Structures are given as C-alpha cells and as structure tokens.
Amino acid sequence: MEQITQSGAGLLAERVAFDKRSDEVDDSGNYVGAWVEQFTTRAQFIWLRGGEAVNAERLQSRQPLIVRIRKSAAALLVDADYRLRNIRTGHEYQIRTVTPDVSRGMIDIMAEGGVAV
C-alpha cells in the first residue's frame, strides 16, 4: 500500500516574521541597530528528532528545526543574517541554512531555537 503524504497550504499552520538587523555600526564595527521586520508569511515547523547530534542539542536547551515557507521574492533574500520569529508564541530562532526546493516552490530553512540571535 502506498503511503500518502500530505502537502500544501494546510500544513502552513504557523505565522512567522523574518527580521534583519539595521545597518547602523558603532565605532568598534559592531552592529548596534535593532531588528527590523522585513516580511511575514505562513510556515510549517518540522521539529528534528532522533540522531545523536539532535539529542545533544536538546540537552543544551537548543531545538533544531526545519521551517518550510512558500517561495517568494522576499523569501529568496533570506540568509543566515536574518532572524526568524514565531508571531504566535514570540519565540526567536537563529537561521542556520536556507535551501530552496525548486520542484515544489517551497524554501526549507534550518533554524535553531534557544540560542542567541
């Protein structure tokens, strides 16, 4: 029997915002600006589980996850300089990698919660 996997807009249950630091730099070369919201979109959270590395992250109160969003012009600009924020809960996530999925029009973002952003 073939397993049916659900996909589509029904899985995009979370509302997230993508923030980027303003370009203000102090005398030491450090960014001092606040985070500025760039855009919001719907997202699916896929919590990673299983492997030794994931379990080690959890022991340190870090939670790795994949955040899947629809591809758009704004989403294609996202990189590790951005911060991901869950609008419903207020949790913030550090973006690690961004991988566009050309076949389905989605973008997978590996992020990590419980770390400094």
* Total count of domains within the chain: 1
Cβ(85)–Cβ(16) below 8 Å: yes
15 domain residue, yes or no:
yes
- CA–CA distance, 95 with 30 (Å, rounded to integer): 20
pLDDT in tens, 97-116: 999 877 778 999 999 987 76
Domain that holds residue 77: 9-113
pLDDT tens column, 60-101: 566 889 999 999 999 999 999 999 999 999 999 999 999 987
**Looking at the DSSP assignment, which residues form a beta bridge with residue 33?**
none
- In this prediction, residue 25 has a pLDDT band, given cuts at 50, 70 and 90, of confident
Q: What is the pLDDT of residue 85?
A: 96
Residues 6+ apart with CB under 8 A from 40: 15, 16, 17, 18, 87
Residue 21 has pLDDT above 90, yes or no: no
The CATH number of the domain holding residue 74 is 2.40.10.270
Residue 4 lies in a domain: no
**H or E element in which residue 59 lies:** helix 52-59
User: Domain for residue 2, yes or no?
Assistant: no
Distance, CA of 49 to CA of 63 (rounded, Å): 9
Q: Indicate whether 65 belongs to any domain.
A: yes
Instruction: Flag whether 60 is in a domain.
Output: yes
pLDDT tens digit string along 46-57? 987 766 655 555
